[in-house]
A and B are shown apart, each in its own frame.
Chain A
Amino acid sequence: AQKVTQAQTEISVVEKEDVTLDCVYETRDTTYYLFWYKQPPSGELVFLIRRNSFDEQNEISGRYSWNFQKSTSSFNFTITASQVVDSAVYFCALSESMNYGGSQGNLIFGKGTKLSVKP
C-alpha cells in the first residue's frame, strides 16, 4: 500500500546547526514522484522540490539539499546552517502515476515534521 512516513514529529535545533528531516515511502509503482513542502506558521504550503523515481541524483539548492535513495525508499531533506526563518512544518509527499482501480493516481502526504530553529 502507498504510504509516507515522517518518523520525526518535532525537531528543535539552534541556529546554524545542520538538520536532516527523514522521509520513508512505500509504493508498488515503478514510476512515482516525491515532493517536499514547507508550511510556515501562516499556513500556506510552499513547494520545495519534486523528484521522479528515475532520477536518483541528489539535489542542492542553496542551504537545502535532498538525498533520494531508492534502495532504502527514502527521500531525506537537509538544511545546512539553519536559520530562524526555517522554522515550519515540513511535509514529504508521494504521488503514483499509475491508474489503479480506475483512479487517476494518488497523492499521499506524510504527517509532517515540525522544525523549530532557536536563535
Chain B
Amino acid sequence: DGGITQSPKYLFRKEGQNVTLSCEQNLNHDAMYWYRQDPGQGLRLIYYSQIVNDFQKGDIAEGYSVSREKKESFPLTVTSAQKNPTAFYLCASSIGSQLIYEQYFGPGTRLTVT
C-alpha cells in the first residue's frame, strides 16, 4: 500500500539524549515535511524538504535537525538543545513543493522525554 510510515508510534527518552524519528514514504512525492503538535494546538512546521539533499527551516527549527539523502526518507533528529521536546510529531509529503499542495500524513510518533 502506498503511504507514509513513521516509527515508532511511541518513543521514550531521557533528557539530554538525542533521538531520531523515522519517516518513509513510497508515494514518489518530491516534498516532505515535519510538524510538531502540542495538546490543544495546531501543527507547527519544523523543517521541510523540496528535493533530495535540500531542506529549509520552518517556524520552530531550533533544536531539531534533518537530512534528505533519499527521496523516500526524511528522518528528524530531536537534539538535547530542544528545550521542550515532548510532543506528537507528524511527517507528511506532497507531490509538489512550496507548501501549496495538499499533504499526506503519517500516523505520527509520540515522543516523551523525562
Q: Which of B43, B98, B103 has the most CB of A within 10 A?
A: B43
Instruction: Give the residue name and chain of the A residue nearest to B108 (CB).
Output: A43
Q: For the complex, is A70 an interface residue (Cβ under 8 Å from B)?
A: no
Task: Classify the interface of chain B: helix, strand, loop or mixed.
Answer: loop
Q: Which single member of A33, A45, A105, A111 contacts B90 (CB below 8 Å)?
A: A45
Q: How many residues of A contact B (CB 8 A)?
A: 26
Convert A10-51 into 0s and 1s, putting 1 for each residue whose CB lies closer than 8 angstroms to a CB of B.
000000000000000000000001010100001111110010
Q: For the complex, is B27 an interface residue (Cβ under 8 Å from A)?
A: no
Q: How many residues of B contact A (CB 8 A)?
A: 24
Instruction: Give the residue name and chain of the B residue nearest to A110 (CB).
Output: B42
Instruction: Give the residue name and chain of the B residue nearest to A114 (CB).
Output: B40
User: B98, A104: Cβ atoms under 8 Å?
Assistant: yes
Taking Cβ atoms with an 8 Å cutoff, the residues of A that contact B are 4, 9, 33, 35, 37, 42-47, 50, 91, 93, 95, 97, 103-112
Taking Cβ atoms with an 8 Å cutoff, the residues of B that contact A are 40-45, 50, 56, 59, 88, 90, 92, 97-108
29 contacts between A and B (CB under 8 A): A4-B42, A9-B40, A42-B107, A43-B88, A43-B90, A43-B108, A44-B90, A44-B105, A44-B106, A44-B108, A45-B105, A46-B105, A47-B102, A47-B103, A47-B104, A50-B102, A91-B42, A93-B42, A93-B43, A95-B100, A104-B50, A104-B56, A107-B99, A109-B42, A109-B43, A109-B44, A111-B40, A111-B42, A112-B40
